[in-house]
Amino acid sequence: MLKFYTERQLQTRIQAATDAAVAAAVTPLLARIADLEQQIARLKKNSSNSSKPPSSDIVKSPKITVSRKKGKRRQGAQPGHPRHERTPFTEEEIDRQITYEREDLDPKEWEALDKWEVVQQIELKESPVEIIEHRARLYRHRRTQQVVGAALPEEVKAAGLVGPRLSAYVAFLKGACHMSYTTIQTLLADVFGVTLSTGQLAKITTGKVSAALAASYTELRAALPAQDRLGIDETGHKDEGRKMWSWCFRAYDFTLFHIAASRSSDVLMEMLGAAFDGVIHCDYFSAYRKFMKDSSAVMQFCLAHLIRDVKFLAESTDKVTHNWAEKTLNDFRKLFRLIHRREQFRPAHFDRKLAALRDRLIQRFQHSPDRPGVCDLRERFRLHPKEFFTFVTTPGVEPTNNMTEQAIRYLIIDRRITQGTRGTKGQRWCERIWTTISTCEAQGRSVFEFLCATLNAHFAGQPIPSLMPSGP
């Protein structure tokens, strides 16, 4: 039976069919758009709005060119600013003094003043190295023909071809200056007139110097479990193509690096032990959370990492997510503004204001909107709200892990230049030289002089200088 429709009914049915067809066509497109937006958001992540390391910005972030308007201000010193000049060398620091006189002036007419026009000049010696030949005379018994010799000093025999100061210099160039063996070889040949093979240079660093630094490194490693506060971070390390991990342990006055095959909490258990009850500054990586459960450690999860995650959410096109992130960032600004103005408040008043801001931030995270990305942060504060604010109740604890990130930055630069290690000897060398450089810098000590003292003691069989602050 034929069914007849009025014009209005027909239009309604046509519109319904059209809407269904449009919906069927648009739905996958909307899903595709949402997927692309998530991909774009992931690509926009960098060290300023996420927990990604700054090294990833080098290859993934677009280069931003800032155009500056040329003003009237000229380059260099500005009128009215104090003049900065180098402090002259003292008489004790001057090795040689050359005096220039005027012979063409009649002394009857010209009086020689006890004043001088002085130019102090630093110059490189024509031959900065000294070639020393150690000779031990041999003696033969006239009757038995037995041959004996005078005794060479043990430190001379232990050092071999390259003496302690030059060995320390090679180690300094390789470790602190990130030089390749070929570059060091060229420098020694062109400037010092000394020819050493790259193999010999490798034996100096990964052999002699690494062995000399073993004792001071072991002493620091043994001191780690006794620290009341430690900043810890880790980054990737390549060894002959294998993926490994470089761990950084930052105490108040020393730093220790450790290369391991694992990024798990097993490394923390090996280095610190289950009895460790100090405060650990770290990010929210799972290894630290597991170690917290298996030990007596107290965590201070880095607020800088958390703030970067919130900054990323503030760039969201979703208004609810954006508004929540902006309000949260504003609360963090108030928190750090209060911390920086700590001296302006009485201790009790400061503690109350700090605790109030802490509670406000915890509430904001725990009652955050049900949006992608925000839910992850809400879950963190459901599980570990106190661990983000340990610094509020524990004196001396910082809210961020910036000191450790500053210490590990040197390692990342070295990794980028050297491209990793090749074998266990290279790993031990890197651990020990990185530890020595970072610790000496933290204590205001000369890295080169420490290397010299260590090598002299090592070759002479004497106690090795300590990297501990209370050490000799």
pLDDT in tens, 146-187: 999 999 999 999 999 999 999 999 999 999 999 999 999 999
pLDDT in tens, 404-422: 999 998 888 888 888 888 8
Q: How far is residue 418's CA from residue 205's CA, in Å, rounded to a whole number?
A: 14
Average pLDDT of the chain to the nearest whole number: 88
Look-up of token digits 């001191």: 223
Q: Is 159 helix (H, G, I), strand (E, B) or coil?
A: helix
Q: Is 458 helix (H, G, I), strand (E, B) or coil?
A: helix
3-state class percentages of the chain: helix first, strand second, coil last, to nearest 5 = 50, 10, 40
Q: Taking residues 361-366, what's their average pLDDT?
A: 93
Cβ burial 302-328 (10 Å sphere, 16+ → b, else e): bbebbbbbbbbbbebebeebeebbeeb
Q: Is 148 helix (H, G, I), strand (E, B) or coil?
A: strand
Q: How far is residue 286's CA from residue 258's CA, in Å, rounded to a whole number?
A: 19
pLDDT of residue 53: 52
Strands 229-239 and 147-149: unpaired
193 dihedral zone (left: phi>0; alpha: psi -120 to 50; beta): left
**Is the per-residue pLDDT at 472 higher than 90?**
no
What is the percent of the chain with per-residue pLDDT over 70, rounded to a whole number? 90
**Is the per-residue pLDDT at 352 higher than 50?**
yes
Joined tokens for residue 197: 């093979």
Number of neighbouring beta carbons within 10 Å of residue 439 = 26
Number of neighbouring beta carbons within 10 Å of residue 449 = 13
Q: Taking residues 275-282, what's their average pLDDT?
A: 95
CB-CB contact of 292 with 299 (8 Å): yes
Strands 138-140 and 147-149: antiparallel
Sign of torsion over alpha carbons 261, 262, 263, 269:
negative
CA-angle at 222, arms to 221 and 227, nearest 5°: 90
What is the percent of the chain with per-residue pLDDT over 90, rounded to a whole number? 69
Q: How far is residue 248's CA from residue 257's CA, in Å, rounded to a whole number?
A: 5
pLDDT of residue 77: 67
Strands (E), 46-154: 138-140, 147-149
Phi first, then psi, for residue 104 (nearest 5°) are: -90, 0
Residue among 465, 463, 459 nearest 157 (CA): 459
Q: How far is residue 249's CA from residue 271's CA, in Å, rounded to a whole number?
A: 10
Residue among 211, 214, 188, 216 nearest 201 (CA): 188
pLDDT in tens, 27-79: 888 777 777 766 676 666 665 555 555 544 544 445 545 555 555 667 766 77
**Is the per-residue pLDDT at 359 higher than 70?**
yes
Q: Taking residues 11-24, what's their average pLDDT?
A: 78
Q: Which residues, at least 6 apart from 232, have a Cβ–Cβ distance to it below 8 Å?
A: 247, 248, 249, 250, 268, 280, 281, 282, 288, 401, 404
Domain ranges in the chain?
303-400
Q: How far is residue 187's CA from residue 259's CA, in Å, rounded to a whole number?
A: 30
Burial label, 258 (beta-carbon count in 10 A; 0-12, 13-18, 19+): buried
pLDDT in tens, 239-267: 988 999 999 999 989 999 999 999 999 99
Range list of H helices, 134-190: 154-159, 164-175, 181-187
Look-up of token digits 């983000």: 388
Q: Letter for the amino acid at 261?
A: A
Q: Taking residues 89-110, what's their average pLDDT?
A: 92
Q: At what angle do helices 374-383 and 319-340 cross, to 10 degrees?
A: 50
Number of neighbouring beta carbons within 10 Å of residue 379 = 13
Q: Letter for the amino acid at 38?
A: Q
**Is the per-residue pLDDT at 122 higher than 80?**
yes
**Is the per-residue pLDDT at 238 higher than 80?**
yes
Top pLDDT among 305 and 19 is at 305
Sequential DSSP letters for 178-193: ---HHHHHHHIIIII-
Q: Which residues, at least 6 apart from 163, have a Cβ–Cβ distance to it below 8 Å?
A: 132
